[in-house]
Amino acid sequence: MPMKQIKKLLKYIEPYKKQIFVSIFCMLNVAILTAFSRWLLKPVIDEIFYSKNIKLLSLIVFAIPAVYLLNGIFIYFKNYITIYVANNIVKTLREETYQHLQKISIDYFITKSSTGKTISKLTNDLNNIFLMLSKIPSVLVTDLITIVGLIFILFYLSVKFALLSLIVLPIALLPIYIFSKKLRHYSRKTQSEIGNLYKNIQESISAIGLTKAFSQEKREINNFNITNTKVYNAILKFSRTELLSSPIMEFIGALGVGLVLFLGGMDVINGKWTPGGFFAFLAAVLSFYQPIKRFAEANPLFQQGIVSLERVFGIMEQESSVIEVETPLEAQFSKLIKFDNVTFSYNKDNRRKNIIKNINLEIPFGKKIALVGPSGAGKSTILNLLMRFYDIDDGNIFIDGKNIKQFSLNSLRKLFGVVTQETFLFNETIKYNITYGRENVTEEEIINATKMAYIFDMIDNLPQKFDTIVGERGYTLSGGERQRIAIARAILKNPQIFIFDEPTSALDAESESIVMKAIYNIVKYKTVLLITHRLNLVSNFDYIYVFSDGEIIEQGQHQQLLKEGKFYASLVSLQQINNI
């Protein structure tokens, strides 16, 4: 599993080969200078303290600071270059992951992941990858070369004691092997729980109004505490395993050092080894176990990084369920949109739960078509299928005789200007929200669009006018104002087809009247598809399709359907009674 993720990561490392080469050069010098500084103990003790070599003392006094200064310079550059490369790789990963999220079909966000978990992968997991990339290379290269250099010094000073020291090495490294699998398991669990925490925070903040309206603050606090405790427990389990390996390695290393100290000390006492050689060897042995200790400390970072790579690459491996053909056509509409025996289910594993069944309907160019019926009848699904947010299971959808699967998704969706019942506004200016669907818009076009949507006067009376920030999801505005800004946004896009999906369902009578006035103001010139359960809005439409339980049960003009006295007529009567 780690090798699979590392192979994928190599593609992102490759563009920085030059920087990595310079960094490795610096790491090599750090390792050599570290090993050399340990060897310096031998001439210091043997030649200066025992042989009274004043000339060498003068040289050593300047040599030691020079070695550490040079070492410090190399450490700085190898650290900076490593962080530079790691930061660039993570930046690229973040951008590519986000680009992929923008391109994959909408079902991923609804059925395969939550917003909070996706945010966790783009933040927490990418931070883990950064830590791995910025810390591990230095440990692998610098400490590995340091170990090799120190082994050379050990054998130079004493072959017998070098072999004795190296016998302990595999035993000291054993905890890294034993704990790696556990660390990876606990890291996966921790990051999954952190994803759940992000999900909890995102949902609770998004629903803060609902929470306060129903006085559910204690419930939300309790839910958060439960999720937070799971994160806490997962981190503790990971930490217990992480913190065990280093002390175990230090204990094993200390046994080896103790053995060398005893046997080497005996050799010094017996005159078989010089004190300088012994202390240089002892310093090298102590330094030898420091890199091994850093290997143990770096292992948790590595395991976390591998799991995070697995999670981030998991997003990029998500294939879109809606795929363009290799050479797509540019979508054009001038005649007819046709649904031909269309069947669709959101749950592909249970085709019995078809949302719409055998739908046949037509939307002629320049006409006003209404889809009506009770909530849950499948009306809004028509919008999702027409814009290819999902692909149908059976049947075909044609625009001017061509299957919509032949068109590029971009050109297909450019045909439509959509206003839904849940209007989304960014926490930006009114101008930003209105111009969201189109670039390079003139001030005159913006004003004309807002006038057509009957929202210009309201905007013009604001202190900041079009530069007014609308707040989170536009909540500083009323529902009717948000809808009219959405209508202005759709107008400015200048689409060939306007789709209004329950645009007045959450509005009071006065706001509904103004919104419908704005809608009628633009339907004179465009093809319109209105999805609604409010039948008073569709009496002057060219054609009406009546939905019930995913099927079209009636179709025709308003007066014709009333005369037939069936389901549509009963709905009209019922709504008239309710409005009395």
Domain that holds residue 165: 2-196+236-316
553 in a structural domain:
no
Place of tokens 């004003």: 447
Distance CA 282, CA 429 (A): 68
Q: Tell me how far apart the alpha carbons of residues 442 and 465 are, in angstroms, rounded to a whole number.
A: 16
The pLDDT value given to residue 30: 81
What gap in Å lies between CA 534 and CA 407, rounded to an integer? 33
pLDDT at 580: 46
User: What pLDDT is attached to residue 338?
Assistant: 93
Inside any domain, residue 271: yes
CATH number (domain holding residue 82) = 1.20.1560.10
- If asked whether residues 47 and 192 sit together in one domain, one would say yes
> Cβ contacts of residue 552 below 8 Å, gap of 6+?
359, 360, 361, 545, 546
Pick from 441, 462, 494: which residue ends a domain?
A: 494
User: Rounded to whole angstroms, how far apart are CA atoms 332 and 414?
Assistant: 10
Q: What are the tokens at 268?
A: 């010094």
**Contact between 198 and 164 (Cβ < 8 Å):** no
What is the C-alpha radius of gyration for the chain, rounded to an integer number of angstroms? Answer: 35
In this structure, are 312 and 433 located in the same domain? no
Number of domains in the chain: 2
pLDDT for 312: 86
For residue 520 the two structure tokens come to: 């009628």
Specify whether 311 is located in the same domain as 435.
no
Domain boundary among 449, 474, 494: 494
Write down the pLDDT at residue 341: 92
User: In this structure, is residue 387 part of a structural domain?
Assistant: no
Give domain status of residue 223, yes or no. no
434: in domain: yes
Both 176 and 298 in one domain: the answer is yes
Which of 124, 246, 260 lies closest to 183 in space, CA to CA?
246
Question: 390 in a domain, yes or no?
Answer: no
Q: Within 10 Å of residue 166's Cβ, how many Cβ atoms?
A: 14
- Domain closes at, from 449, 479, 494: 494
Q: Do residues 156 and 9 both lie within one domain?
A: yes
Cα separation, 169 vs 242, whole angstroms: 20
Looking at this protein, which amino acid is placed at residue 299?
N
At 120, list the tokens: 């966790």
Would you state the structure tokens that stand for residue 553, as one six-digit string?
Answer: 């049960």
CA of residue 12 relative to chain centroid, distance: 17
Does any domain span residue 286?
yes
Average pLDDT along the chain, 580 residues, taken 10 residues at a time? 79 89 85 71 60 64 77 85 89 87 80 77 86 84 76 76 72 71 77 78 66 69 82 80 70 71 72 69 70 76 85 85 87 91 78 77 90 83 88 90 91 87 82 84 87 85 88 79 85 86 69 73 80 80 88 88 85 64
Whether 395 is in a domain gets the answer: no
State the Cα–Cα distance between residues 72 and 33, nearest whole angstrom. 10
Report yes or no: 67 and 36 within 8 Å, Cβ to Cβ: yes
Chain center to CA of 28: 36
CA 172 to chain centroid: 39
Q: What is the DSSP letter of 176?
A: H
Establish how many alpha carbons lie within 13 A of residue 266's alpha carbon, considering only the half-sphere containing its beta carbon: 6
